[in-house]
Structure 1
């Protein structure tokens, strides 16, 4: 009988200890509610002010606004432990419309690989044309391409001012354009005139003539040295210039002298004498053997 009582008492004590242990475990401090860590950083985007809170728990969402020049809709949702990008979205560069072409020119992309925010294109003119606009580039901005379309104009040369006594070959009959490569040739309208300067000029790629235009001047022959024993007829008075066609005649004034050379020389249309001035030499005698 006593042994049975002892067994019941021991079982009662064990039940009390087990209950006390369970109460100690279950009665501890309750866990903190689940929360998400620091806000994610999204490139080229900022968190919307309407999404700001002191703490974020499961189900809370973050809306990101893309910065100027970027487009997209980025939303993160808290799953209780971390942030999840619902559509794996991002902010992409805003696209600009396909750039416009210009007459007699073309564009090339000089910054970037696509026509998106920040890209820059440069316009160039085709051969025979030149840029007349101060700005030849356009950049893709948030509102579209900046700057106006540049303009190309045809490269031409101004017609020459035709002076007296000069003939220009190659001038158009009317007010036609003198384009790159156009050639003009010059001659004088009188044989008594000499062309001073290039005989021809070409319109260059810079819209300028390849050389200055020539002029026509009177043909003048310089008076050469006259030997002391030679007399001359026809020298102009007061050292006046000797012009085209002027003739000089030579003779020996001393007895026994012989003129070696042409007795008469003429000023040619090239400004040269027709032959060298002659000289006077003593007559030579040959004795027979």
Structure 2
């Protein structure tokens, strides 16, 4: 550009895209007329990249720029701590400039401190082994247990990690249900193998056995049945001659032949509920299926007739 022979001042401005650079030298030059010629006053300035001093060191830690000597505007360094310690503060610092001339780091350097996990969470109907005020450093383990009548669901332990958090969610305590009750010479209605609280089971005895106790029982806290599981006892006719009725045909319908009546024990009995000789009566109160056993008096007469003895 040709300039007329008169005094002229030119001002140099840093464009924003050059914000990472600084101007070294005068920001203005004047076109001066001297005699028959013109010239610019002073020396031309230069643009230099803004730099920062090396980032500060921290005890028990380092940053990823430790192998470098120079740090320019926009550079970022990240800090880390030795094993067993955690970083407190911003992990990264960036080289910036507030005045466009001097570089500085964006904030204070972080520090390294012992890893600490917060107090372990509590659980309902259970507890953990930590005490109030305990310090939970890296690797610390806390164990959980449940109060009586409850079982633990989940992992029993949690561990303090390098991130200062617990390794997994805390477990929970669940009320213990009941297992299927056993009854000798009998059975439990249904096919379930486990029961929840307040579930009710119904007991039945095998043929020839009588239920002693409650026919129903409810699952209670702690895995206990209430009332207690009943027992099945062998039926006996205690009246008259004291016979013991043990044959399945006693329930009516077609049965086996009569024998051994004179031995005080009726081993087999054939009778039908509509047979007048086997109507319910005194002497044997036991039940077979839906029909009452015949009385000993009627039974004796029935046997006498069957054997050909008329007395």
Bigger Rg, which one? 1
